[in-house]
Chain A
Amino acid sequence: DAKTTQPTSMDCAEGRAANLPCNHSTISGNEYVYWYRQIHSQGPQYIIHGLKNNETNEMASLIITEDRKSSTLILPHATLRDTAVYYCIVNAGGTSYGKLTFGQGTILTVHP
């Protein structure tokens, strides 16, 4: 699996958009970009994934650059409950199963 690089920590004010970057310069053509988050002492929670196009769901938006070497997860209106570790992972998945390789992630702290 390709490796990802994320900032160790970020801060965000409540109500503001949180933009979490991720570099994945060695991503392969069949690999998806996945985002998970983990709130303290809970299991990882799936947020969103994408291949080439930008994606949006009820939780977040995912912006993938045209060369696919980086992406940004956007939480449009961060709340205190969004404080968590955010993991960016690339995974082939599909018919070839993909064990997830977690890095250190980004600790996002949302403050009042």
Chain B
Amino acid sequence: DTGVSQDPRHKITKRGQNVTFRCDPISEHNRLYWYRQTLGQGPEFLTYFQNEAQLEKSRLLSDRFSAERPKGSFSTLEIQRTEQGDSAMYLCASSLEGVGGTDTQYFGPGTRLTVL
């Protein structure tokens, strides 16, 4: 399967711990997005990469959050000093810029974070 993959699928951590999630986009997709989804809500945009450059960050992305995409391939999302309010599904999506005038994003299965 050559879709977007995310690891781990589930993460349980204690408040105050650091966690890191990984996203592997579809091969050759140059755009990568992170979203967060809380229970009963639609996904909310967190940040966007074009190749290795992080071009936009949402106000939802506090200074405890950091995302990287070294070499424009996989991406990591780190949360430092986790809080219970960080409990959510973290979704990664990728797309190929401007093919056919569109930017169709394909999502991974998500990482479900539970902070105790």
- B28 interfacial by beta-carbon distance below 8 Å: no
In the complex, number of A-B residue pairs with CB atoms less than 8 Å apart: 69
Identify which of A41, A93, A101 contacts B104 (C-beta below 8 A): A93
Instruction: Mark B80-116 against chain A: 1 for CB-CB distance below 8 A, else 0.
Output: 0000000001010101011001111111111010000
Query: B41 — which chain A residues lie within 8 A by C-beta?
Result: 104
- A21 interfacial by beta-carbon distance below 8 Å: no
User: What are the 10 A-B residue pairs with the smallest beta carbon separation, nearest first?
Assistant: A102-B42, A93-B103, A43-B107, A99-B45, A44-B107, A94-B101, A94-B98, A43-B110, A95-B98, A43-B109
* Chain B interface residues (CB < 8 Å from chain A): 4, 31, 33, 35, 41-45, 48, 50, 55-56, 89, 91, 93, 95, 97-98, 101-110, 112
